[in-house]
Homo-oligomer: A and B are copies of this chain.
Amino acid sequence: MPTSAAPIPNRSAEDIIALRRQHLNPSLSMSYRQPLKMVRGAGAYLYDQDGHAYLDMVNNVCHVGHCHPTVVAAGQAQMAQLNTNTRYLHDNIVEYAQRLSATFPAELSVVFLTNSGTEANDLALRIAKTYTQANDVIVVDHAYHGNSPTMIELSPYKFDGKGGRGRPPHIQVAEIPDDYRGRFRKEDPKAGVHYADDLHCAIAAIRARGEKPAAFYCESVLGCGGQVVLPAGYLQAAYAHAHAAGAVCIADEVQVGFGRAGDYFWAFEAQGVIPDIVTMGKPIGNGHPMGAVVTRPEIAQAFMTGMEYFNTFAGNPVSCAIGLAVLDVIQQEGLQAHAKQVGDFLLHGLNEMKKNHALIGDVRGTGLFIGVELVRDHASLEPATAEANAVIEFLKAHRILLSTDGPHDNVLKLKPPMVFSMNNAQEFLMRLDQALSQIS
């Protein structure tokens, strides 16, 4: 009995918005005052229902480019062949575990697969707690580690944000090592070490509770914190403090991993450390729901308490085929080196622009993960939040998609698909220059 999927109506933006209001999660916000209806993606571009091309500078999920043909073909072929769970033997999962672990220092050789970055951070916590037999966790201020109940408890971005219930007692928040806005600035060569000293307070607070720290979570470049590059020496010193207190160190590479940082495949490498656990998500499957955890064999072994970690979907042959294709494309197209080249060009152009536009307070980043912080005053650092939003709307009118982040929502966050080209970068710099001229 042949069947075929029923055609999906082509609705107007207004009708879609009305149906969202009626049938979808009402807490889900849309991008832009006038949301866009996108119907197609290719490379660094999204196309709306009228065929207009938008340059996508905000999507670090479609990592190797929207609908990359190699990734699409790998997913299509495996979907038609087999999609089942990991209780059977399959080539794809072991090939993927081997290939993924080969991108890490040799110590990090054991892979756990999940369906999202949230599930990866959740699993990392279970592993850390089991290994350390401890309960408390140290996180960095303004961090976001996921949308599950456990990760919201761990994310100052959420628990201190709108609707948040504040810091839970088993979580300690370390000062954000922001060397533009924080206590220690760029001109201090020891800023990283000074910021890391704040972990002593967190550890002392945990001990005062009669508890021990299980883990120190830190994104390798801070995302929701405002695209903040960690000052030199921060992770080395912070990891030393955490390890001395018995905690494991977890690098959250959900936003910045897989070559985006340019100089390194994993952004933690720039800090000269080897984490105990690394978590991955967003770019890992170019949009396909996937996540992963990698850790040391001795930590993985300690997790063998008799309680299995089985995940119905994770590690299935389709997800692994897609994950493998993403790794292939990054390598074959030299996307890490490309991110370095285009990222350096953007950083240079933005720093030049800073000389002419007082709104630009700070330019920072690594590879294709860049933040441009807008301020009204270079002494007080008063956030130029409305101006940042005006930039976003100006760029939208010129069909460039960008968004803001940071505690004051005044940081332009650049994290385009990795195929973002030098021409794309030039176009963006020209339009940003226009936007800043018009707004200031």
Contact = CB atoms under 8 A, between A and B. Distances in A.
A249 to B, nearest CB: 19
A118 interface: yes
Contacts of A24: 93-94, 97, 110-112, 315
Given A97-B19, A149-B126, A119 B117 contact: no
A95 B287 contact: no
Interface in A24-83: 24-31, 35-41, 46, 59, 61-62, 66-67, 69-76, 79-83
Interface string A292-306: 000000001101111
A73 B26 CA distance: 31
Contact of A85 (B61, B93, B122, B281): B61
A306 B61 CA distance: 25
B26 A300 contact: yes
Interface stretch (A159-167, A230-238, A345-353): A159-167
A439 interface: no
When all copies of this chain in the complex are counted, the total is 2
B79 A61 contact: no
Interface residues of A, number: 122
A435 interface: no
Contact of A3 (B80, B113, B329): B329
A-B pairs, 9 with minimum CB distance: A162-B306, A163-B307, A163-B305, A163-B306, A19-B94, A23-B97, A83-B287, A37-B89, A289-B289
Interface of A: 1, 3-6, 8-11, 13, 15-17, 19-20, 22-31, 35-41, 46, 59, 61-62, 66-67, 69-76, 79-95, 97-98, 101, 109-113, 115-119, 122-123, 125-126, 147-150, 152, 158, 161-164, 281-282, 286-290, 300-301, 303-316, 318-319, 321, 324-325, 328-329, 332-333
Given A5-B73, A20-B93, A24-B97, 4 more contacts: A26-B301, A29-B308, A40-B81, A75-B79
26 contacts: A1-B332, A1-B333, A3-B70, A3-B333, A4-B328, A5-B73, A6-B328, A11-B91, A15-B94, A16-B90, A19-B94, A20-B89, A20-B93, A20-B94, A23-B109, A28-B310, A30-B89, A41-B82, A75-B76, A115-B115, A115-B313, A116-B289, A119-B147, A123-B147, A125-B149, A126-B152
